[in-house]
A and B are shown apart, each in its own frame.
Chain A
């Protein structure tokens, strides 16, 4: 048994806010304080240190076909961040790879762990690409993983919706998709829009009819939110709304919240969806209106998708949006792909510049959203890696949130008109350590239904991070003193000391397997793959590379 003594704990799931308390770890779990008869094998004195559960990233594009396209497209980016192999002896072998915007799988895992993250969720797994995504994630070490299956532009679903199918049948199909692709949640991207682009439609508003099926994005969101709710998934429908990046899209974003009709809905990378058309340049912040709407509506959660300045690459299922954006590609090369009557993907490299008015305002809008949404349980810290910035910039982002002087100093550096347009300087809020622990640990765990992660209570998986309490929060969060994964010390002073593998989390909803009859017929008639071969069996998950499959049961609600 291991005792972590005298640490200052921030454990919001139990309301613990900076309490000095000992933690006990045995067999990979946090355990209650043992009696005097139990031998303590090891002990660390953490006096003055900050202790939190392992961080959880609920929206990061770490693995799957579009990331591999991004990697293959950008050899010049990798050259700036070559990663040599490193033999840790008894700690295992760290593979060579590359870092920065589209890091190799190995480097992704190592660097997440070195920042104190112990679980990461890939938010855009195409069912047609699921086996590939699991193979890629199988080579991401150190962290637990999971993925959200993308629906809403797949022809089978749109056929059901257009035919006015019973919500129970749609729920069966959604349940089948989760099961077949070993997914954790459902995501919809530009609802119906990826399909519409295949029919040469270049924009699709929330209440505009799809050119072939006649259904609207609002109907797609409504049907999927209902199915996700009825299946009893912990995580709400994860929505990449229509009109990403388009000035004036805040109205669409507000209408998208309403489209859920009171059911739980998660709006992802909401920074990209909080734009107005005020001012000479017809581009302005609507962060206040969006934040107010989130504050008012308890069924809505969001992650920010903060942008940070520098080179990155945007990778998205939103082919319509990415084709529109390709003229901003830097370097000037980009990929758009239509995929398997299922969805699509678009990869556009991008360089955010602090002296560019639009980019500078995007930066300020993201920070405004963080500071204006009052409930840290419903707003999550993301850069939509790598779309807003690579995940390795999280410590910098945390400092921007926790340190007003630092934030204002950065505000002085951006395009002066953008700074003048933004109300950021007037926002005095500074996030506390407790609030950071909420938004990076407790809240994502609760949102995903990870009962054993994101907290330090007895029974929790011993994913534990120990930080030096440094006034420079970027330094503090960039280099934890200790990281434990399932009770094992894996990182010391911000460096991996032991290589471990992570588990795959997937939901196991109840659904009527009878859905396989029409599905099988559909695949046999129209697809170039058989339905049976799209399905990923439970025992394939480990063959793909995960240490184990962690199934999460769901209780179906009747509609």
Chain B
């Protein structure tokens, strides 16, 4: 069966049903337009790629501890980034690390019961969206909550837990229940639901702004689910100690599984972040925020964070990889910055070295994981380019480094 459809790398859904006739969501259409060529720059001047590669290698050679971050690329790019990080003694982190580690910290504390997109589509009769409206994943409703299921027509109840202002009316119309609650109180709500589930009384007054009867009504709906799914997008849980809210949600789902079936669905995976974490995990044992030290990989989920490392002077050079979205520029820093970016990336403050790279799934073939971490999809080259892929540019830098060492 010939394959006329291609996979979209621009969000964690990695929709694989796109074609010339169905170019996908507005984000996919917009990001699928990228110049086939770009201009490399070193210290503000146009240079050829070889000179830019040499300049990048010179920065890394002079650095005691670089940071290889951004990591918005495909699996082959991630492999090359880890190779280079290992040889230069670097730390690695992804541009979506803040959200990723809200999940990883909770996961490493207690694990969870989770599910994948096709299970959601076929089984989920109750879907709770906690602190998100899923608009960061434009086709989530269309792809994962379509009415047809192989187990018969599903009448789904979608329950939105969140700040009502963040939900446009057209989203609310299709949902059965919208419960306004500040995101910061999701953990409190889940803890109270667990207590009620265990038959305990919850102190009089309100819990997370909800009256006790409202709490019990919500719990009754959750318990009535045949297959319930609790989804959140950790990137949107931007408040202190949000990993504890994630932990509370996972614990609620575990408790609901004592008598029924429930699963968590952490939304995410955009900018190649699922692939970056998967590759780093199989190669080092840790899901990013790893430093390559003389004694072996060193994992610090809190202190190996891009912003903190740059602010504290914990690193002395930044290699920023951003091959999917030109808006994802490197953070402000005073240390020398090398950017491997889309050719249409622009800068207010130009980096020391800019090497334009091909866009995975547009300019070159590759592999990319979907948000659930299970399905890795094949990316294809849809248009020709003269630009190097991230992996090729990184290999050229590594070669330049070893040549200089020899």
Q: Are A and B part of the same complex?
A: yes
Q: Is the CB of A340 within 8 A of B1?
A: no
User: Complex formed: what's the CA distance from A530 to B148 in Å?
Assistant: 16
User: How would residues 104 to 116 of chain A score, 1 for a CB under 8 Å from any chain B CB and 0 otherwise?
Assistant: 1110000000000
User: Complex formed: what's the CA distance from A332 to B108 in Å?
Assistant: 10
**B392 CB-CB contact with A under 8 Å:** no
**A9 CB-CB contact with B under 8 Å:** no
**B328 CB-CB contact with A under 8 Å:** no
Q: Which residues of B, 269-293, contact A by the 8 Å Cβ criterion?
A: 277-279, 281-287, 292
**A139 CB-CB contact with B under 8 Å:** yes
**B261 CB-CB contact with A under 8 Å:** yes
**A39 CB-CB contact with B under 8 Å:** no
Closest chain B residue to A65, Cβ basis: B374
Chain A residues whose C-beta falls within 8 Å of the C-beta of B109 in the assembled complex: 333
Q: Is the CB of B150 within 8 A of A98?
A: no
Q: Which residues of A, 123-139, contact B by the 8 Å Cβ criterion?
A: 126, 128-129, 131-132, 135-136, 139
**A296 CB-CB contact with B under 8 Å:** no
Partner of B5, one of A85, A155, A532: A532
Chain B residues whose C-beta falls within 8 Å of the C-beta of A323 in the assembled complex: 113, 257
Chain B interface: which size bin?
A: 35 or more
Q: Is the CB of A530 within 8 A of B5?
A: yes
Partner of A526, one of B148, B261, B263, B297: B148
Q: Is the CB of B376 within 8 A of A132?
A: yes
Q: How near does chain B come to A162, taking the closest CB pair, in angstroms?
A: 12
Chain A residues whose C-beta falls within 8 Å of the C-beta of B374 in the assembled complex: 65, 126, 128-129, 132, 337, 339-340
Q: How near does chain B come to A543, taking the closest CB pair, in angstroms?
A: 8
**A205 CB-CB contact with B under 8 Å:** no
**B260 CB-CB contact with A under 8 Å:** yes
**B7 CB-CB contact with A under 8 Å:** yes
Closest chain B residue to A100, Cβ basis: B285
Q: Is the CB of A516 within 8 A of B1?
A: yes
Q: Which of A75, A95, A337, A543 has the most CB of B within 10 A?
A: A337
Q: Is the CB of B17 within 8 A of A530?
A: yes
Partner of B282, one of A63, A336, A520: A63
User: Complex formed: what's the CA distance from A543 to B117 in Å?
Assistant: 26
User: Complex formed: what's the CA distance from A98 to B287 in Å?
Assistant: 13
Chain A interface: which size bin?
A: 35 or more
Which of A66-74, A248-256, A405-413 is the interface stretch? A66-74
**B47 CB-CB contact with A under 8 Å:** no
Q: Is the CB of B296 within 8 A of A82?
A: yes
Q: How near does chain B come to A516, taking the closest CB pair, in angstroms?
A: 5
Q: Is the CB of A200 within 8 A of B261?
A: yes
Q: Which residues of A, 330-347, contact B by the 8 Å Cβ criterion?
A: 332-342, 347
User: Complex formed: what's the CA distance from A338 to B378 in Å?
Assistant: 23
Chain B residues whose C-beta falls within 8 Å of the C-beta of A522 in the assembled complex: 150
Q: Is the CB of B297 within 8 A of A82?
A: yes
**A528 CB-CB contact with B under 8 Å:** yes
Chain A residues whose C-beta falls within 8 Å of the C-beta of B75 in the assembled complex: 135
Q: How near does chain B come to A538, taking the closest CB pair, in angstroms?
A: 13
**A533 CB-CB contact with B under 8 Å:** yes
Chain A residues whose C-beta falls within 8 Å of the C-beta of B369 in the assembled complex: 132
Chain A residues whose C-beta falls within 8 Å of the C-beta of B296 in the assembled complex: 82-85, 96-98
Q: Is the CB of B111 within 8 A of A84?
A: no
Q: Is the CB of A129 within 8 A of B295?
A: no
Q: Is the CB of B284 within 8 A of A533?
A: no
Given contacts A337-B115, A338-B115, contact A71 B261 (CB under 8 A): no
**A529 CB-CB contact with B under 8 Å:** yes
Q: Is the CB of B377 within 8 A of A533?
A: yes
Which of B61-69, B118-126, B207-215, B319-327 is the interface stretch? B118-126
User: Complex formed: what's the CA distance from A237 to B351 in Å?
Assistant: 58
Q: How near does chain B come to A333, taking the closest CB pair, in angstroms?
A: 4
Chain B residues whose C-beta falls within 8 Å of the C-beta of A73 in the assembled complex: 107-108, 111
Given contacts A72-B104, A135-B376, A200-B261, contact A527 B118 (CB under 8 A): yes
Closest chain B residue to A134, Cβ basis: B376
Q: Is the CB of B286 within 8 A of A340?
A: no
Chain A residues whose C-beta falls within 8 Å of the C-beta of B377 in the assembled complex: 131, 529, 533
Q: Which of A72, A139, A329, A341 has the most CB of B within 10 A?
A: A72
Chain B residues whose C-beta falls within 8 Å of the C-beta of A341 in the assembled complex: 118-119, 122, 150
Q: How near does chain A come to B233, taking the closest CB pair, in angstroms?
A: 18
Q: Which of B76, B115, B282, B299 has the most CB of A within 10 A?
A: B282
User: Complex formed: what's the CA distance from A83 to B112 in Å?
Assistant: 28
User: How would residues 115 to 154 of chain B score, 1 for a CB under 8 Å from any chain A CB and 0 otherwise?
Assistant: 1111101110000000000000000000110001111000
Chain B residues whose C-beta falls within 8 Å of the C-beta of A136 in the assembled complex: 282
User: Complex formed: what's the CA distance from A97 to B281 in Å?
Assistant: 10
Q: Is the CB of B261 within 8 A of A139?
A: no
Q: Which of B76, B144, B376, B378 has the most CB of A within 10 A?
A: B376
State the B residues within 8 Å of A (CB): 1-3, 5, 7, 16-17, 75-76, 79, 86, 104, 107-119, 121-123, 143-144, 148-151, 226-227, 257, 260-261, 263, 277-279, 281-287, 292, 294-299, 365, 367, 369, 373-378
Additional A-B contacts beyond A72-B281, A332-B110 (12; CB < 8 A): A72-B107, A96-B86, A96-B292, A104-B282, A135-B75, A155-B122, A200-B260, A337-B115, A337-B116, A341-B119, A526-B118, A530-B5
A-B contact pairs, 19 of them (CB 8 A): A73-B111, A75-B108, A75-B299, A82-B295, A82-B297, A96-B297, A102-B285, A131-B367, A198-B123, A198-B261, A335-B113, A335-B114, A338-B114, A525-B148, A527-B118, A532-B2, A533-B377, A543-B76, A543-B367
Closest 10 CB pairs of A and B: A82-B296, A98-B285, A532-B3, A78-B285, A131-B376, A528-B117, A333-B111, A335-B111, A132-B376, A526-B150
State the A residues within 8 Å of B (CB): 63, 65, 67-68, 71-75, 78-79, 82-85, 95-98, 102-106, 126, 128-129, 131-132, 135-136, 139, 155, 159, 197-200, 212, 323, 329, 332-342, 347, 516, 520, 522, 525-533, 540, 543-544
